Amino acid sequence: MCYVPRGLTWHASLSVMAEGHFACIHGGVVQQWDYTRQTVSCTMPGYIDTALTKYQHAKPDVPQHAPYQAAPIQYGAKVQRVAADTSAPLNPAEIKRVQDIIGTLLYYARAIDPTLLTALSAIAARQANGTRAVYDACHQLLDYVATHPNAGIRYKACDMILAVHTDASYLSEMGGKSRAAGHFYLSNVNDEDFNNGAILTLSSIIKHVMSSASEAEMAALYYGCKVAAPLRTTLEELGHYQPKPTPVTTDNITALGLTMGTMTPKASKSMDQRFHWLKCRNAQRQFTYLWRKGILNRADYASKHHHPKHHQLVRPFYVFDSIAPLPSQ
């Protein structure tokens, strides 16, 4: 799925690369079709190099494998709270630069590299009153894309069944806020292990302050299903019938129990009434909710500020690094 900002003109070209292989360009996104393997790979060669030149940002001497600084572990604390930002404020020119970087990389992240979205969301939430810490976060993000400038995303032929994974991180953002994440992909019937490129990645700060980790997980389910509802309708209108309720995966037992009606609500009565929408959609057989442990939850990556080693380990699951040459005109 390709995203093009408003105001940009779609330019398309098509060429035959080899037998069974075709390539075309739409809005700067190169699509390489492999009819033998039944895949299409999307890349944006040269986009990051152009952005780095624009911002006069050199490739780091030491490779940067994390798009943001990992959250420090607070040993002995049940909740890993985020420390307040006490760094100096930015001047208007620096704030403008931060906003420009966010806009440039957001297009690339939406179209090709979803591993940037958590960092972009965190920076964007603080850009209006930017501080030196926000500026440093932008610098680290540029180091990351300079280290990995040739990301690509690959889609495989499938039954076009919508599947969703959701996850949350409790009190992981400034102001006592939590983060909700969703991984949306197209799969096969009764094949939860099928891995396909994400058609959409959600990484958003939850608007309200959550009172518990379980409530944050409920919010992530709510955010994910609100987005999945029109996606499901769109697929059916395109002729891809969804024969069963869309499977939505969570790694929280309490959230699963409350939405599926297998757990008696007690303290959960204080939860936002909007979350009961999830139970209604389950009763309408639009969604069904599943549990998987955290390491198998594909939305876990977009919900937290992970250590660089974790990024190196799981990045190949979401994108591939490849220098894709432009097809001949």
- Does 120 reside within a domain? yes
Closest CA to 42 of 27, 30, 28: 30
d(C-alpha 164, C-alpha 65), whole Å: 26
Q: Are residues 180 and 293 in the same domain?
A: yes
Name residue 246's beta-bridge partners: 287
Angle at 307 between CA 109 and CA 67, to 5 degrees: 25
Residue 219 shares a structural domain with residue 267: yes
pLDDT, one tens digit per residue, over 257-289 is 988 888 766 655 556 666 788 989 999 999 999
Query: Is 118 domain-assigned?
Result: yes
Q: What is the pLDDT along the chain (329 residues), one digit of tens a residue?
A: 443 333 333 334 445 455 567 778 777 899 999 999 999 999 999 999 999 999 999 999 999 999 998 877 666 655 556 777 889 999 999 999 999 999 999 999 999 999 999 999 999 999 988 999 999 999 999 999 999 999 999 999 999 999 999 999 998 888 889 999 999 999 999 887 899 999 999 999 999 888 888 889 999 999 999 999 999 999 999 999 999 999 999 999 989 998 888 876 665 555 666 678 898 999 999 999 999 988 899 999 999 889 899 999 999 999 998 664 434 33
Model pLDDT, residue 142 = 97
* Number of domains into which the chain is organized: 2
Same domain for 128 and 180: no
Is the same domain home to 166 and 297? yes
Residues 137 and 165 in one domain: no
Could you say which of 153, 188, 216 is where a domain stops? 153
Any domain includes 216: yes
Q: What is the distance between the alpha carbons of residues 300 and 282, in angstroms, rounded to a whole number?
A: 23
What's the confidence (pLDDT) of residue 327?
41
Range of the domain at 25: 12-153
Q: Is there a single domain that holds both residue 117 and residue 223?
A: no
Q: 282: domain CATH number?
A: 3.30.420.10
Written as one string, the DSSP assignment of 8-27 is: PPP-EEEEEEETTEEEEEET
Q: Is 206 found in the same domain as 140?
A: no
163 with 99, same domain? no
Question: Is residue 312 in a domain?
Answer: no
CB 69 within 8 A of CB 305: yes
328 falls within a domain? no
Q: Are residues 111 and 234 in the same domain?
A: no
Closest C-alpha among 162, 164, 153, 166 to residue 186: 162
77-99: pLDDT as tens digits: 555 567 778 899 999 999 999 99
CA distance 105 to 31: 19
**Looking at the domain assignment, is residue 3 inside a domain?**
no
Give the tokens for residue 227. 């987005």
Question: Would 215 be classed as within a structural domain?
Answer: yes
- Do 142 and 192 share a domain, yes or no? no
Residue 77: the pLDDT is 59
Residues 181 and 101 in one domain: no
Other CB atoms within 10 Å distance of the CB of residue 260: 15
Domain stop point among 122, 153, 184: 153
Tokens 């008696």 found at: 264
Task: Identify whether residues 292 and 167 lie together within a single domain.
Answer: yes
Confirm whether 321 is domain-assigned.
Answer: no
168-172-174 Cα angle (round to 5): 130
